[in-house]
Amino acid sequence: MARLERCNDKTFRSNFKHRRLPGIGRPFASSRSETAERRMIQRRQTLYLLLAVVLLGLSFIVPYATYERLPDGPGWAFEPLGLMRDDGTPMADVGYRVPFHLLTGLAGALLLVSVFLFGNRPRQARLVRMGWLMLAGLCVGVLVTFFSVQAYLEQGGKLASQVGPGALLLPVALVLAFLAERAIRKDEDLVRSVDRIR
């Protein structure tokens, strides 16, 4: 019986040596397992954020909308940098009230920087929230400007307008950023609950 107690005592000391209570000696889980867990947790929102950044980059290449004078007249493209003619020159007499290129670049920069803040999830979530709120404002600005430009061009005659892929990339990036923030918040809640259990 004494031998069994000594064996159990040795086993207990061995287990306790490698699995200390939080705040006493070594952490409850090894640093290697915590790092692996952190990487696994971050994988989903990182994909969301990187995909959103890629879509925002593509929005500089494709137009938000196109307009064409009927019949067989000139055409224009509503792009982040300005209203462009068919030959690629901007229309000097048409200016946007919203700096689409600056806001799109800033939103993309916020989302890209937040990818590397996985060690500080609350700050990461705040940056992502700022990014998708900015994208929401951009979507509203694109919609208002689309109708404003259409009304201006229609003064010269009948006009055909079509929504371009750039106007669709912004809301998709917005949804991805929103999903990334939700995933970050869920992971933060999960880590806090595990810390409470420990």
Give the DSSP per-residue string, the chain. Answer: -HHHHHHHHHHHHHHHHHSPPTTSSS-SS-HHHHHHHHHHHHHHHHHHHHHHHHHHHHTTTS-SEEEEETTT--EEEEETTEEEETTS-B-TT---SS-HHHHHHHHHHHHHHHHT-TT-HHHHHHHHHHHHHHHHHHHHHHHHHHHHHHHHHGGGS-EEEEE-HHHHHHHHHHHHHHHHHHHHHHHHHHHHHHHHH-
Residue 23 domain-assigned?
no
Lowest mean pLDDT among 8-12, 109-113, 126-130, 167-171: 8-12
When divided into structural domains, the chain yields a total of: 1
What pLDDT score does 191 carry?
Answer: 76
What pLDDT score does 95 carry?
Answer: 77
**Domain, as residue range, for 168:** 34-197
- At 59, the pLDDT band (50, 70, 90 cuts) reads very high
Task: Give the pLDDT confidence of 60-81 residue by residue, as tens digits.
Answer: 999 999 999 888 888 999 999 8
Residue 87 domain-assigned?
yes
Task: Give the pLDDT confidence of 108-150 residue by residue, as tens digits.
Answer: 999 999 999 888 888 999 999 999 999 999 999 999 999 999 9
Domain CATH for 66: 1.20.140
Indicate if the pLDDT at residue 2 is higher than 80. Answer: no
Residue 124 domain-assigned?
yes
Average pLDDT over residues 178-193: 86
Residue 14 domain-assigned?
no
pTM score, two decimals? 0.73
Residue 80 domain-assigned?
yes
Residue 98 domain-assigned?
yes
Residue 137 domain-assigned?
yes
